[in-house]
């Protein structure tokens, strides 16, 4: 089969492309900006890439066009496909029909922590010899790729609640039909497509409806939203984590140590490879889910000790003159707060200089701007890139006083950070995009000063 993917350089669609190629299909694709690292991964697999969405691409005559959810009506190639009545399908539907069908799917859903928890779970299965396939919205250090297809019956997938495609406004995860599902947390996000939290809860309810009776849901007991979702109906086995009656985790006596318990009995303890209480919770959920496919908690915890993290999750990009620059994907206020807190606990010495790009559709709309000061409260200085926002970032950050500043120019932001930074500081860059290569700009400017 020849498939042509629209929006191929997105993390999810790029993963679909890699899986399709591994399955023996001919894969080509296009994107508005063909850029690394995904373009490098794709080209290394012999996948032909086209810049832009010119309608002439229909002359490639694929068996089917696979449409990413970044593609909207008015896109010239999409309009040509519709006009000519050519076959097309969404990325999640193609994945479900050609890769996931017949496999034991382990899906990780939630507003935060999906990539980390999915990567942990995939590694636990791998280290136990189960050789899982996977699709992750990042690059796990233990694998070096974001997607892999194997002959194993097990497939681990990051289950996103964002909508499927221009023609299918259900959440992507409704297509995956998991046998094991982690519901990690649930709060309001994606204000561009969801009116309120209740609308997202409905999508999670739809996911729950697809899980078989013999399946298992591992859900966060601290989330009232998830309790509401499951109160609407649950037809599968249900295990709660974060609840002392079932799965729980707590800090150990040593710095960074985590102690894991099942029904009050200790099942293991390790020095956590990633800092923060949120990562302790992510690990607990992965341990519980791995148990459903036969990986013992003891084995899963031993594997966790060898977990190498994920790119763009508190990733050190470089250090100059005792100043360390980090890259992190955090973009929602809750994730920002947890990331800053995690770094503060890991690095008790030195200041945290938070460099933020409110880039997600939700943040651009300004729906959560009032939560930013609180989420950045533990940072010593805050530098916000305000270019392209429809709201006043300086005004939103005013409760932080002189600790915060907003900049319309990336060059001015870099200059301000470099002027402020001193030896021992931690420069924490947070964005769900490339942020104009600000990490390399900061390192170069620090080196040159």
Q: Are residues 365 and 328 in the same domain?
A: yes
For residue 79, the model assigns a pLDDT of 98
For residue 292, the model assigns a pLDDT of 98
In a domain? residue 220: yes
Last residue of a domain, one of 89, 120, 141: 89
How far out from the chain centre does Cα 265 lie?
Answer: 32
pLDDT at 63 over 90: yes
**pLDDT band at residue 71, thresholds of 50, 70 and 90?**
very high
Asked if residue 182 lies in contact with residue 285, where contact means CB atoms within 8 angstroms, the answer is: yes
Q: Are residues 112 and 72 in the same domain?
A: no
Between these two residues, 370 and 92, which has the higher pLDDT value? 92
Q: Are residues 127 and 66 in the same domain?
A: no
CA dihedral 305, 307, 312, 315 (to 10 degrees): 50
Number of domains the chain is built from = 3
Q: Are residues 109 and 83 in the same domain?
A: no
Q: Are residues 37 and 157 in the same domain?
A: no
pLDDT at 35 over 70: no
Q: Are residues 176 and 250 in the same domain?
A: yes
pLDDT at 37 over 70: no
How far apart (Å, rounded) are the C-alpha atoms in residues 327 and 318?
Answer: 10
In a domain? residue 148: yes
In a domain? residue 412: yes
For residue 364, the model assigns a pLDDT of 73
Q: Are residues 288 and 321 in the same domain?
A: no
Residue with tokens 């409806």, as numbered in its chain: 209
pLDDT at 167 over 90: yes
pLDDT at 338 over 90: no
pLDDT at 125 over 90: yes
For residue 224 the two structure tokens come to 């009232």
pTM: 0.81
Q: Are residues 274 and 361 in the same domain?
A: no
- For residue 86, count other CB atoms closer than 10 A to its CB: 14
pLDDT at 329 over 90: no
For residue 60 the two structure tokens come to 């490639």
**pLDDT band at residue 299, thresholds of 50, 70 and 90?**
very high
> How confident is the model over 417-436, as pLDDT tens digits?
999 999 999 999 998 777 88
For residue 160 the two structure tokens come to 């996103």
For residue 44 the two structure tokens come to 């290394």
> CATH no. for residue 377?
3.90.190.20
Residue with tokens 């989420």, as numbered in its chain: 375
Per-residue DSSP letter, 86: -
Q: Where are the beta strands (DSSP E) in 211-348?
A: 216-220, 237-241, 247-251, 257-262, 265-271, 315-320, 323-328
Q: Are residues 201 and 251 in the same domain?
A: yes
Beta-carbon contacts of residue 57 (< 8 Å; ≥ 6 apart)? 4, 30, 50, 77
Asked if residue 85 lies in contact with residue 23, where contact means CB atoms within 8 angstroms, the answer is: no
For residue 122, the model assigns a pLDDT of 98
**pLDDT band at residue 443, thresholds of 50, 70 and 90?**
very high
Q: Which residues pair with 147 in a beta bridge?
A: 135
What's the sign of the alpha-carbon dihedral 262, 267, 269, 275?
negative
Residue 67 belongs to domain spanning: 2-89
Q: Are residues 160 and 277 in the same domain?
A: yes
pLDDT at 97 over 90: yes
Asked if residue 371 lies in contact with residue 333, where contact means CB atoms within 8 angstroms, the answer is: yes
> How confident is the model over 382-411, as pLDDT tens digits?
999 988 788 888 888 999 998 999 999 999
pLDDT at 45 over 90: no
> How confident is the model over 174-227, as pLDDT tens digits?
999 999 999 999 987 777 778 899 999 999 999 999 999 999 999 999 999 999
> How confident is the model over 238-287, as pLDDT tens digits?
999 998 779 999 988 887 889 999 999 999 999 888 777 888 999 999 99
Please write down the long-range contacts of 314-322, taking CB distance under 8 Å and 24 or more positions apart.
314/274, 314/275, 314/339, 314/342, 314/343, 317/429, 317/439, 317/440, 317/443, 318/439, 318/443, 320/443, 320/446, 320/447, 321/423, 321/446, 322/422, 322/423, 322/424, 322/425
CA atoms within 13 A on the CB side of 380: 17
> CATH no. for residue 175?
3.40.1190.10
Relative to beta strand 381-385, strand 26-31 is: unpaired
How far out from the chain centre does Cα 427 lie?
Answer: 21
* Alpha-helix residue ranges (DSSP H) falling in 293-319: 297-304
In a domain? residue 97: no
Mean pLDDT of 326-331: 84
**pLDDT band at residue 322, thresholds of 50, 70 and 90?**
very high
In a domain? residue 310: no
Last residue of a domain, one of 304, 328, 356: 304
For residue 36, the model assigns a pLDDT of 66
Mean pLDDT of 227-237: 97
Q: Are residues 121 and 269 in the same domain?
A: yes
- Most confident option among 55-69, 263-277, 371-385: 55-69
> CATH no. for residue 64?
3.40.50.720
- For residue 348, count other CB atoms closer than 10 A to its CB: 7
For residue 301, the model assigns a pLDDT of 96
Q: How many helices (H) and strands (E) does the chain have?
A: 15, 23
Nearest to 82 by CA among 73, 95, 93: 73
Q: Are residues 365 and 285 in the same domain?
A: no
Last residue of a domain, one of 63, 89, 115: 89
In a domain? residue 94: no
């Amino acid at each position: 089969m020849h498939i042509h993917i629209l929006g191929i350089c997105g993390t999810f669609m790029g993963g679909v492309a890699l899986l399709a190629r591994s399955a023996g299909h001919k894969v080509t694709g296009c994107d508005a900006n063909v850029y690394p690292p995904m373009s490098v991964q794709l080209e290394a697999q012999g996948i032909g890439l086209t810049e832009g969405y010119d309608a002439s691409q229909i002359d490639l005559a694929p068996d089917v066009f696979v449409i990413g959810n970044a593609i909207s009506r008015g896109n010239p190639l999409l309009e040509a496909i519709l006009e000519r009545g050519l076959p097309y399908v969404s990325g999640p539907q193609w994945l479900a029909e050609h890769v996931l069908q017949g496999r034991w799917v382990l899906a990780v859903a939630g507003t935060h922590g999906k990539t980390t928890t999915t990567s942990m779970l995939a590694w636990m299965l791998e280290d136990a010899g189960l050789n899982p396939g996977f699709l992750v919205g990042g690059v796990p250090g233990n694998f070096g790729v974001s997607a892999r297809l194997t002959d194993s019956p097990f497939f681990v997938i990051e289950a996103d609640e964002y909508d499927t495609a221009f023609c299918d406004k259900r959440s992507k995860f409704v297509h995956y039909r998991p046998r094991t599902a982690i519901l990690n947390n649930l709060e309001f996000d994606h204000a561009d497509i969801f009116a309120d939290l209740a609308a997202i809860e409905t999508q999670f309810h739809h996911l729950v409806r697809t899980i078989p009776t013999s399946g298992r849901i591992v859900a966060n007991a601290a989330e009232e939203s998830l309790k509401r979702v499951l109160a609407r109906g649950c037809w599968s086995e249900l295990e709660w984590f974060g609840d002392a009656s079932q799965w729980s985790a707590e800090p150990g006596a040593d710095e960074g140590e985590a102690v894991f318990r099942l029904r009050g009995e200790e099942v293991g303890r390790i020095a956590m490879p990633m800092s923060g209480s949120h990562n302790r919770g992510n690990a607990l959920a992965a341990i519980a889910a791995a148990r459903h496919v036969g990986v013992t908690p003891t084995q899963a915890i031993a594997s966790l000790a060898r977990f190498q993290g994920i790119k763009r999750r508190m990733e050190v990009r470089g250090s100059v003159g005792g100043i360390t620059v980090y890259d992190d994907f955090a973009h929602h206020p809750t994730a920002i707060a947890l990331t800053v807190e995690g770094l503060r606990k890991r690095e008790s010495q030195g200041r945290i200089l938070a460099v933020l790009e409110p880039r997600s559709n939700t943040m651009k709309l300004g729906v959560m701007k009032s939560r930013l000061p609180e989420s950045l409260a533990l940072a010593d200085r805050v530098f916000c890139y305000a270019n392209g926002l429809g709201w006043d970032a300086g005004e939103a950050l005013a409760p932080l006083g002189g600790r915060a500043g907003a900049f319309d120019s990336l060059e001015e932001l870099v200059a301000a950070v470099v002027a402020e930074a001193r030896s021992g500081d931690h420069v924490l860059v947070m964005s769900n995009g490339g942020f104009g290569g600000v990490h390399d700009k900061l390192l170069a400017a620090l080196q040159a000063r």
